[in-house]
Structure 1
Amino acid sequence: MTDPTITQAMIDAYDEYTHLTLDRRRFMEQLTRLAGAGAAAAAIAPLLAANSAQAAIVADSDPRVKGEDITFPGGSGEMKGYLVKPAEHTGKLGTVIIVHENRGLNPHIRDVTRRVALEGFVALAPDFLSPLGGTPSDEDKARDMFATLDPSRTAADAVATVTFLKADKDGNGKVGAIGFCWGGGTVNSLAVNAPDLAAGVAYYGMQPKSADVPKIKAALLLHYGGLDERINAGIDGFRKALEAAHVEHTIYVYEGVNHAFNNDTSAARYDKQAADLAWGRTIAFLKQKLA
């Protein structure tokens, strides 16, 4: 049996469904039209979505890392999070916040957090849905919850996470952040609101207002997928504002790949070559800025 053909129009429709105005019913109607039949659309939809059953790159039982679910003080209430450290290390380590996509703190982000720890960092993935009770197992429900989050509280919770990590007993007091999709935008916002953030890495994240860019003190590494027209529309304005404010930054656009190209649980959108290249650049950047 051959895999169904997935077109760019299908990927664009899924992006609209996950980030903009389409609901599930309208998305499936549009996908059926594009695929030519309901059965084909039903086969394609799981390939566009992330698969939480996908095997982790670093298993939660990997003896090289130690992870635990924790609670810590947020901006105005308790935050949940997943904290991971190398099982064996000497000296103080740089610390990194990992900010999830608009599906919350799911198995994929936990896996990414372990990957970061394995590179020699204290890694913490906060659950930014904590004010609403935490990330549910139903990812569509999680997506809907993001629309009800208070942006000012999210910003305060992100700043509080920096404060928490700065005091970690195994950390060296330097804090960086990596964010994906919604999390990429959150990292950009965090850079605006946390002058003590040392480094920020935003994967295909929404850009902050140009007027806020001069507040940024962190060095930034910005990754974008070349086919991601929705997010990429803000690159030029962001670049000009960063240059005008003399903010240290590097921008990479990976041609021919989509939004969410780093997410290896999404068969249709993941691009291994781009993801590996961006990851290598990310880790080198964080090792330099958080040493």
Structure 2
Amino acid sequence: MDTLKKKDISQEVFDLYDDYAHNKIDRRQFVEKLSLYAIGGLTVSSLLSFMSPKYVENILVKPEDERIDSKYITYNSPNGGGSIKGLLSQPSNIKTKLPGIVVVHENRGLNPYIEDVGRRAALEGFISLAPDALTPLGGYPGNDDDGRALQKQRNRDEMLEDFIAAFNYLKSYENCDGNIGVVGFCFGGWIANMMAVKILDLKAAVPFYGGQPTAEETSQIKAPLLLQYAGLDTRVNAGWPAYETALKENHIDYTVYFYPDVNHGFHNNTTPRFDKEAADLAWSRTIGFFKGKLI
């Protein structure tokens, strides 16, 4: 159905996709369950196509954009995966040192959407580094299904070390002034929270719909937090009340926003979970937060 629109899809289909995207069901189960919603003019193949990411046509900042310098680099993660590949993006013609942002991918490796987010951050005047935690397994394989399967093979605490090492790379990078924040999405939201736990001189963290640290871990946070949640994301939001209690008990500097009537992954503009109004607002808040805390 070429005319299939977001409004044509029931919330149950989005919830089903969330289960699939987070490895609660496999592809066979996803397709089987999806068939229950293939009624009327809908087919399973049209639903599958509609729910799948459309990367190429939705890139906002092209790799060749002359306003930025974007290239792949490798850096050492001695406590994680060893040599890690990442996309380093910065404004063209840098005349002074700039603050840095680590951009953390979802649970499928460094796909084109996350690379695009890194370039967007560079357009805003930051040096961004978007690592690929799948590097030890050959890197992002070109599609999200295989990416999720690969990422399941890695220990998440070792991957956390890879992103901490990215912070250290930026810290010593010649064009970076040492003021560094992190933004992460889904799995990357958990990483952003945990980098705030682990890195005492992290200047700011922005987790998008990320899993929360324990109360004991939360007590170690020094960085200010901007926490962004999707209103319909019952899975992740279930951990918020306990996290909020721990943040308040430990007098952590935090701001939280819940975006009503949007799904987990609402910032990702390559899937139908994308909500432009919420995504634009959340991104403007993210950049404003980083400009206030890093500059």
Whether the TM-score (by the shorter chain) exceeds 0.5 is: yes
- Measured against aligned partners, the alpha-carbon deviations of 1:60-102 in whole angstroms (never above 9, x if no partner) come to 1110000111001113311110001100233211100000111
Match of residue 141 from structure 1: 146
Aligned counterpart in structure 2 of residue 111 of structure 1, from 116, 120, 123: 116
Aligned counterpart in structure 1 of residue 35 of structure 2, from 32, 38, 51: 32
Rounded to whole Å, the distance in 1 between the matches of 2:120 and 2:3 is 33
Distance 1:192 1:75, change over 3 A: farther
Letter of the structure 2 residue corresponding to residue 177 of structure 1 = V
Backbone CA RMSD of aligned residues: 1.4
Match of residue 3 from structure 1: 4
- Measured against aligned partners, the alpha-carbon deviations of 1:133-192 in whole angstroms (never above 9, x if no partner) come to 211113211101121211221122121111111111111101100101111111111111
Match of residue 290 from structure 2: 286
The normalised TM-score by structure 1 is 0.96
Once the two structures are superposed, the pairs formed by residues 266-281 of structure 1 within 5 Å of their partners are: 266=271, 268-281=272-285
Match of residue 46 from structure 1: 49
Aligned counterpart in structure 2 of residue 62 of structure 1, from 57, 65, 90: 65
Which 4+ residue blocks in structure 1 deviate beyond 6 angstroms? none
Provide structure 1 residue ranges, at least 5 long, that are not aligned to the other structure: none
Q: Is the 8 A contact 2:72 2:88 kept in 1?
A: yes
SS in 1 for 2:120: helix
Once the two structures are superposed, the pairs formed by residues 168-179 of structure 1 within 5 Å of their partners are: 168-179=173-184
Shift of 1:203: 0.6
Aligned counterpart in structure 1 of residue 228 of structure 2, from 218, 223, 229: 223
Match of residue 192 from structure 2: 187
Shift of 1:37: 7.2
- Measured against aligned partners, the alpha-carbon deviations of 1:20-77 in whole angstroms (never above 9, x if no partner) come to 4211011011111122379622111222222122231111111000011100111331
Match of residue 204 from structure 2: 199
Letter of the structure 2 residue corresponding to residue 284 of structure 1 = G
Provide structure 2 residue ranges, at least 5 long, that are not aligned to the other structure: none
Q: Is the 8 A contact 1:75 1:159 kept in 2?
A: no
Give the number of equivalent residue pairs: 290
Q: Is the 8 A contact 1:155 1:193 kept in 2?
A: no
Rounded to whole Å, the distance in 2 between the matches of 1:20 and 1:47 is 19
The normalised TM-score by structure 2 is 0.95
Match of residue 102 from structure 2: 97
Letter of the structure 1 residue corresponding to residue 277 of structure 2 = Q
Identity of aligned residues (%): 42
Rounded to whole Å, the distance in 1 between the matches of 2:223 and 2:48 is 39
